[in-house]
A and B are shown apart, each in its own frame.
Chain A
Amino acid sequence: MCTLEKRGDLFLLTLTGDGEHRFHPDTIATILSLLEQAKSQSTRGSILITTANGKFFSNGFDLAWAQTAGSKTGAANRLHQMVESFKPVVAALLDLPMPTIAALNGHAAAAGLMLAISHDYVFMRKDRGVLYMSEVDIGLSMPDYFSALVRAKIGTSAARRELLLSGKKIRGEEAVGLGIVDSAAYDSEEGVVEASVRLGEKLAAKKWSGEVYASIRKSLYPELCGILGLEARVFATPKL
């Protein structure tokens, strides 16, 4: 389902296998626990890179699982369960005491795209993979923390409109132009991961305090932190 590897300074979180890496409650719980593991093992110079195998980074919540509840109410409850349990994943990433990089090997849709933009840096492929907020097409409303994440990370009203209201499948070059990803200059899965590792090593060399990094990151996004219930301030003890 997903694995956490340590390679020197780098924590590599991978959504494994060839499927759509949909977020079922079990997947969400696993991701959360792996993030907690990375946090507990973090030191100065730690970096998180999140990626996936195959055609998809993640296609969002496991809606098929929601449907198998057997009733409309049951399906709605299951969807609500996934929405609520995914919120701590976003919070954990915002709170993580190290720089974070999403290396998009393939398509990122809905909650899958939200996972991506919860990272400090996002790289994607030029040749493959689209970003897609499917909600407007499938008639789902958006959780408050999704919109707050989009407002925090994507700056122009045109970009937010294209992403949330157009049902567009956005490819690499356009994603860079809209400010959704940092770079889409890569022609392969390996290329995206290599670029992430290069950036990761550059940031790791700064040996920043993870606690200070996380605190400063949270203060960049006060509205989002408010919705996630994250304290943006750290009451630091003075050095004596």
Chain B
Amino acid sequence: MCSLEKRDRLFILKLTGDGEHRLNPTLLDSLRSTINKIRSDPSSSKSVLITTSDGKFFSNGYDLALAESNPSLSVLMDAKLRSLIADLISLPMPTIAAVTGHASAAGCILAMSHDYVLMRRDRGFLYMSELDIELIVPAWFMAVIRMKIGSPAARRDVILTAAKVTADVGVKMGIVDSAYDSAVETVEAAVKLGEEIIKRGGDGHVYGKMRETLLREVLSHTIGEDESGLSVVRNTGSKL
């Protein structure tokens, strides 16, 4: 499911195992409880979180097969991811996504919800797949997209062409901060960046509050918004 490692003052959260790390209710609960554990750690306001994964995928999005079998689970997964993203946005420490595999749809939103996105350039892509698999993009996903991708043309390319964005293209588009030649180098760079940030000092609580203000628009969607027309599955199965 997911593992938590502490390396000096760095928290390393990993989506474990060789699968697609689909964001089903169980994994989402596991991630949330791990984030809560990190938040309540006494060293949290002087730490950094790095999120990464094993295998070919960072995360291939919601568990659509599950949603197909039980449509109410679609609502549940969306609510759980919203809460997780709200937790990440309010987390009293900087966050780094070390993207070492494909990140699609909800999985891409999870990656982009980190303050820094570092990605390998030799494999993998960011992919807002909804147009290809005939899912509606929830309004709160769009809020993340608006906050994290500055150029209207880049947003259009990501959302309205379902572009498969490799790391170097992601850097040009302003979605990815920096690109590396392998998975190992990506994680190493994330660790190095984390250590640099910690060295700068500063109070994580202040950081978290400022981030909440900056990303207020996302939070206004994630907490307490009533949306009855949620994304509904039309086709199952990703094209990956």
Contact = CB atoms under 8 A, between A and B. Distances in A.
Contacts of A239: 68, 233-235
A235 B229 contact: yes
B160 A233 contact: no
Interface in A150-165: 152-155
A54 interface: no
B152 A154 contact: yes
A167 interface: no
Contacts of A219: 136-137, 139, 142
B233 A213 contact: no
Interface string A223-240: 000000000111111110
Interface in B91-124: none
Contact of A212 (B68, B131, B228): B131
B136 A215 contact: yes
B152 A217 contact: no
B172 to A, nearest CB: 14
A46 B142 CA distance: 25
A203 B161 contact: yes
A166 interface: no
A237 B156 CA distance: 25
B137 A209 contact: no
Contacts of A173: none
Nearest to B234: A239
A238 B71 contact: yes
A236 B152 contact: no
B181 to A, nearest CB: 30
Nearest to A238: B232
Contacts of B152: 152-155, 179
A154 B156 CA distance: 12
A208 interface: yes
A236 to B, nearest CB: 5
A236 B136 contact: yes
Contacts of A182: 153
Interface residues of A, number: 28
A7 B148 CA distance: 39
Contact of B159 (A209, A220, A232, A234): A220
B188 interface: no
Contacts of B155: 220
What is the size category of the interface that chain B forms with chain A? 20 to 34
Contact of B229 (A155, A208, A233): A233
Contacts of B150: 155
Contacts of B162: 206
A235 B229 CA distance: 5
A236 B232 contact: yes
A216 interface: yes
B151 interface: yes
A191 interface: no
Interface string B119-141: 00000000000111011110100
Contacts of B161: 203
A232 B142 CA distance: 11
B156 A120 contact: yes
A214 B232 CA distance: 16
Interface string A199-213: 000010010110011
A236 B138 CA distance: 12
Contacts of A120: 156, 160
Interface in A118-153: 120, 152-153
Contacts of A235: 228-229
Contact of B136 (A99, A208, A216): A216
A216 B135 CA distance: 9
A219 B132 CA distance: 16
Contact of A217 (B160, B229, B233): B160
Nearest to B141: A219
B155 to A, nearest CB: 6
23 contacts: A120-B156, A155-B151, A179-B152, A206-B132, A206-B162, A208-B132, A212-B130, A212-B135, A213-B160, A216-B130, A216-B137, A216-B160, A219-B139, A220-B145, A220-B155, A233-B139, A234-B229, A235-B228, A236-B229, A236-B234, A239-B233, A239-B234, A239-B235
